Structure 1
C-alpha cells in the first residue's frame, strides 16, 4: 500500500497528540500501510530556531516528507492555532513539499473554542504547500483522550468513532491516489 509519515507537532514528551497519532498509526498499519512515526520535538532546537535547512536532521526530515505518499499531521492547539514547533518545521520544508500527497490534519485541545483551528489556521498553510488532497480532519478534546498508568490510550466513544472514520477516509484516499498513479504511468 502507501507510505505514511505520521507527524506530531507537540513539544511535550507526554503528549496526548502524539499518543493519539500512534493509536491511528496502528489502524493505518492494520490497513496495510507502512507508517513512519515522526516527532518534530526530536529535531535539534537550534536547527529549527535558526531555520537551518541544511542541518542534517532537517535534511533527513525533508527526505521523510518527500518519500511519503501521505502525511498525517497532528498538533495540539495553543492560542487558537497549531503549535509553533510544527510551524517551525513547515517553514523549513520546500514550498511544495506536499505536492501530490494526501494529507490528514488532526488537532487536540482543551476546549471547543479551538475546534476551527484546523480549517482556519492549519489547512491554509498545508494547502499552500501543494498537496493533491487534504482529507477532512478532526479536532479531539483533551478530555476525550485518556492515558492509563501503563501508557495505554483510551478514547471516548464518539471521538473513537470519528477518528476511525477520518482515518479510514484518509486510507481510502491514499489507495485511490496510488491506483490513479499506477494507471497513469
Structure 2
C-alpha cells in the first residue's frame, strides 16, 4: 500500500506542501502505513505541464499518482477553488485513472468563506477521475496553522476508518 501526496501549489516551499505532508503522515500513522511516502510537488513540473510532448518528470509523477493506494491531493485556494496547476496535471490522467484509490482532498485557505470549495470543486474532480473520496475534504485555514498538529490529529481520527475501509474493499476485490 502506498500513500502519495500531490501538492498543487506553484511555490516550491509552501504552507500547502507542509500541511499536505503532515496530513499524509497523520493518515498513514492511523491506517498502519507509517514511514516514507512519495510527494509529487507540481511546482517543479509547472513549465512542463503545458509543453507539447512528454516530459520524463511529468510521466514519473503521473505514474506515482496512478499507482498509489491513498492519494492526498492538496492545493491552496485560488479564486475560491484549487489551482490551475493542479487541474493541468490531473487533466493528463486518463479516465478512471484513480479508480480503486482513496483520495483525500485538502485545501489551505485564508478565508473561512472558501471552506466549501474543497467539497464543491476538488472532490468532484477526483470522483470524475474514478477515485473514491470516502470522507469530507479538509479545509485548513491559515489561522489554524499554529495548531496544525491538533487539527490533523482530529481529522485523521475521523477519516482513517473510512480510508481503511476503502483499502480493505479493494483488497477483497
Q: TM-score, normalised by structure 2?
A: 0.85
Structure 1 counterpart SS, 2:91: helix
Could you report, residue by residue, the CA deviation over 1:72-96 in whole angstroms, capped at 9, with x for unpaired residues? 1011101011011111101112122
Q: Distance in 2 between matches of 1:58 and 1:115?
A: 30
Tell whether 2:19 aligns with 1:26. Answer: no
Tell whether 2:6 aligns with 1:7. Answer: yes
Q: Distance in 2 between matches of 1:29 and 1:164?
A: 9
Tell whether 2:156 aligns with 1:155. Answer: no
Structure whose CA Rg is larger = 1
- Specify the alignment match of 2:157 in structure 1: 165
Structure 1 counterpart SS, 2:57: helix
Identify, as 1 or 2, the structure richer in strand: 1
Q: CA deviation at 1:69?
A: 1.2
- Specify the alignment match of 2:83 in structure 1: 83
Cα pair 1:5 1:68 within 8 Å, conserved = yes
Q: Distance in 2 between matches of 1:178 and 1:88?
A: 28
Structure-to-structure mapping, 1:106-121, within 5 angstroms? 106-121=106-121
- Specify the alignment match of 1:47 in structure 2: 48
Question: Which 5+ residue runs of structure 1 have no aligned equivalent?
Answer: 147-153
Q: Distance in 2 between matches of 1:172 and 1:142?
A: 28
Q: Distance in 1 between matches of 2:160 and 2:154?
A: 10
| 1:62 to 1:14, Cα distance in 2 relative to 1, 3 A | closer
Cα pair 1:4 1:69 within 8 Å, conserved = yes
Structure-to-structure mapping, 1:119-134, within 5 angstroms? 119-134=119-134
| 1:36 to 1:170, Cα distance in 2 relative to 1, 3 A | farther
Q: CA deviation at 1:171?
A: 4.1
Larger mean CA deviation between 80-89 and 94-103 belongs to 94-103
Q: Distance in 2 between matches of 1:7 and 1:133?
A: 15
Alignment root-mean-square deviation, CA: 2.2
Structure-to-structure mapping, 1:51-66, within 5 angstroms? 52=53, 54-66=54-66
Cα pair 1:104 1:170 within 8 Å, conserved = no
| Corresponding residue to 1:35 among 34, 37, 56 | 37
Larger mean CA deviation between 12-21 and 103-112 belongs to 12-21
Question: Which 5+ residue runs of structure 2 have no aligned equivalent?
Answer: none
